[in-house]
A = this chain, B = another copy of it.
Amino acid sequence: MSELYETLKGSAVADVRAAIRSRRYASHTAGLGQGYLQANLAIMPAAYALDFMRYCQRNPKPCPLTGVSDTGNPWLATMGGDLDIRSDVPAYNIYRDGQLAGSVTDIADLWQDDFVAFALGCSFTFERALQAAGLPLWHIDHDKTVPMFRSNIETVPAGPFAGKMVVSMRAIPEGRVNEAAEISRRYPLAHGAPVHAGNPAALGIADLARPDWGDPAPVPEGHVPVFWACGVTPQVAIEAARLPICITHKPGHMLITDIAEDAEVPVLTQHA
């Protein structure tokens, strides 16, 4: 880890955002902006936005919508007092016709008047809550990416958006599975309760050692593999929809918001 990362870990959200906006920091955001909601990002032309919102509404566990910009407006005012979606994410992936066409650290020159930006909650939130309850998470303790699998669960389609639900797996001690479920259920904007605990075959997963994304993680004796809906699901649906252009965050390089992680409602100026 860089010296800058270590400094930013102790910094206020405004300082982290300034470092990202000025391109001084362009790496992953795990551990930054502690206590504040981090979000997945998807930007697409307005012609697809209503269907994508419907897709999120119909699949809230993998796609928990936390913010939507006005059409053509790059300031995501409901999630930050000073949040420019063109520059405030450390790195962006550009998709053209469903294919990854490049990664950049700023999208000011790609912005279109018809763009709508969507922010979706991510697993960092409930992972911190599990750790706070004394549930160790192997992939974090070993600096790996959580293992993710394409499940056999069909998402509810909307327009061109459809596909299987992607799930992430964390090994939980047998006696604490219910507790882990109860804790994560409290965070509906961060994937909520698990979709399954126990037999991977029930989700159509043949081999836990061969995840479709991320790194394999062990399931020690006395532990149960627990599966949560995963934010890669909308990414897969977006790729399958083959939009002429779509911009997402680069995995792990999230949008850091001004919303408290435990907010009842993820909207600034909303009375809670």
Interface, chain A (partner B; CB < 8 A): 46, 49-50, 53-54, 57-61, 65, 67-68, 70-71, 78, 116, 153-154, 156, 158-159, 165, 185, 188, 192-193, 195-196, 264-265, 267, 269-272
Q: Which residues of B contact A71 (CB under 8 A)?
A: 50
Q: Is the CB of A165 within 8 A of B57?
A: no
Q: How far is the CB of A270 from chain B (nearest CB, A)?
A: 6
CB neighbours (8 Å) of A196 from chain B are: 271
> How many monomers of this chain does the complex have?
2
Q: Is the CB of B68 within 8 A of A267?
A: no
A58 touches B267 (CB 8 A): yes
**Complex formed: what's the CA distance from A54 to B71 in Å?**
10
Most buried by B among A54, A61, A195: A54
Selected from B46, B50, B65, B195, the residue in CB contact (under 8 A) with A57 is B65
| Min CB–CB distance A246 → chain B (angstroms) | 17
User: Is B192 touching A270 in the complex (CB atoms < 8 A)?
Assistant: no
Which residues of chain B have C-beta atoms less than 8 A from A192's C-beta? 264-265
Asked whether, in the complex, the Cβ of A265 is within 8 Å of the Cβ of B60, the reply is: yes
When distances are taken between beta carbons in the complex, the residues of chain B under 8 Å from A116 are 50
- Listed from nearest, the 5 A-B pairs whose CB atoms lie closest are A50-B50, A53-B53, A54-B68, A195-B271, A153-B271
B residues less than 8 Å from A67 (CB atoms): 57
Whether the Cβ atoms of A50 and B46 lie closer than 8 Å is yes
Contacts of A59 in B (CB 8 A): 267, 270
Give the distance to chain B from A162, nearest Cβ to Cβ, in Å: 13
Q: List chain B residues, Cβ under 8 A from A185.
A: 264
- Inter-chain contacts of A68 with B (CB < 8 A): 53-54, 57-58
Give Cα distance in the complex from A73 to B153, angstroms: 24
Of all chain B residues, which has the CB nearest A60? Answer: B265
| Neighbouring B residues of A70 by C-beta, 8 Å | 54, 158-159
Which residues of B lie under 8 Å from residue A54 when comparing CB positions?
A: 53, 68, 70
